[in-house]
Amino acid sequence: MVAIRTVHLEDLPSAVEQIQKWYLHEWPAWYGPGGPGDAQSDLVNCVSTPGKLPKCLVAIDDRDQLLGTASLKFKSPGSDQYPGAWLTALLVPSKHRGSGIGTALVAAAECEAKHLTFSSIHASTTTAHSLLKRNGWAHIDAIWSSGIRLEIYRKLL
């Protein structure tokens, strides 16, 4: 069993380059050439806003090996209908999946949102349904974004 802890990206700036690579690999249509996303800008924004959103959380092991990441932001598909804190960019590389890292990142995002005085947290996803449900999140809606159906979840904090 791997010991997992989460830290703020601002406390581990050396992780930015690796997370950028993960983003590009996982979401090439968004962060790849010609895509609308800018991984470096997204991550720099997380580092440059201490004490408020956006925030990027990084899961690491006891040797400081990067295991995964998640962000808290105001903007995400669905945030126009449900304003507040949004869990976004939840990413655990395939070699680390199934060992509790996603659960640890979701819990850390919940704690961070609560610490920032939000009463709830939202997420939109095509893939993390069982993870969110296992952690007490409620399905509240579905939307279409860029031709993709996204399920919207909320957790009261």
**For each successive 10 residues of the chain (157 residues), what is the average pLDDT?**
87 94 93 90 84 92 94 94 96 91 96 95 95 96 91 97
Helix, strand, coil share (%) of the chain residues, nearest 5: 35, 30, 35
Residue numbers of the domain that contains 62: 5-156
Number of independent structural domains in the chain:
1
Q: Are the beta carbons of 156 and 136 closer than 8 angstroms?
A: no
Specify the CATH number for the domain of residue 34: 3.40.630.30
* SS3 category, 141: strand
Mean pLDDT, all residues of the chain: 93
pLDDT for 147? 86
Q: Determine the pLDDT at residue 25.
A: 94
pLDDT on residue 3: 87
Eight-class DSSP state of 53: S
Please report the pLDDT score of residue 1 as a whole number: 60
